[in-house]
Chain A
Amino acid sequence: SQTIHQWPATLVQPVGSPLSLECTVEGTSNPNLYWYRQAAGRGLQLLFYSVGIGQISSEVPQNLSASRPQDRQFILSSKKLLLSDSGFYLCAWSVFGPFSSSLVYTFGSGTRLTVV
């Protein structure tokens, strides 16, 4: 069965420090991968999505970047964190292909980032 792993669960980082959050998927190949951010009590904001290795689409210009070095690995990074980067970061995967009826997002358990 497919599983998605995301770590760390919580993170407290000082302003100006770098960030690296990792997400890996098991049990599937060539998934679509996504990074979302959720501010406290708010909706899901799509940050990046990837349909393949090295293919990254950015939805919102910001202080973050994403990379996909392997088929089932998705990394969210920042060179210098801002206070406004605090939030709940969620990785998700879905199938890739023309059948919209099979498109279900499976989310990781999330990383709660606090920038101080």
Chain B
Amino acid sequence: GQQVMQIPQYQHVQEGEDFTTYCNSSTTLSNIQWYKQRPGGHPVFLIQLVKSGEVKKQKRLTFQFGEAKKNSSLHITATQTTDVGTYFCAGILPTENSGGSNYKLTFGKGTLLTVNP
């Protein structure tokens, strides 16, 4: 079946260090999204990438979508304690038997980021 793989599963950094999580799909994606889940909370949408090779920035966060639209990365520069949480990528694919009329997300397993102050 369609899978979205995400690494690493866990990452512990010192405050001020950089952090990167990677996402790979077994199939070409329509779009890719990134979500953040704070400890004890629910996933919250961060950003969506649509175009091949697209790069978007949100303050210290940089999101990239691969040229083949099969991989993506999230890079955080100079982490802060407020960055703690689990980061999920999610690939958008057509639902089976929908003829391209409906889409759903397939989530990666997430990367849990902890930051030592």
Contact = CB atoms under 8 A, between A and B. Distances in A.
Contact of A90 (B30, B31, B42, B112): B42
Interface in A1-44: 32, 34, 41-44
B50 A101 contact: yes
A74 interface: no
A61 interface: no
Looking at chain B's contact residues, the main secondary structure is strand
Interface residues on A, range: 20 to 34
Contact of A44 (B43, B48, B100): B43
Contact of B42 (A34, A49, A98, A107): A107
Interface residue SS majority, chain A? loop
Nearest to A6: B42
A26 B62 CA distance: 33
Report the contact-size class of chain B (Cβ under 8 Å from the partner): 20 to 34
Interface string B59-85: 000000000000000000000000000
Contacts, number: 60
A95 to B, nearest CB: 9
Given A97-B101, A103-B105, A90 B43 contact: yes
Interface of A: 32, 34, 41-44, 46, 49, 51, 90, 94, 96-98, 100-101, 103-110
10 contacts: A32-B102, A49-B104, A96-B102, A101-B48, A101-B50, A103-B103, A104-B33, A104-B45, A105-B43, A106-B45
Given A51-B102, A90-B43, A105-B43, 20 more contacts: A32-B102, A41-B112, A44-B88, A44-B107, A44-B110, A46-B107, A90-B42, A97-B101, A97-B102, A98-B103, A103-B92, A103-B104, A104-B33, A104-B48, A105-B33, A105-B35, A105-B45, A105-B90, A105-B105, A107-B43
Interface of B: 30-31, 33, 35, 41-45, 48, 50, 88, 90, 92, 94, 100-105, 107-110, 112
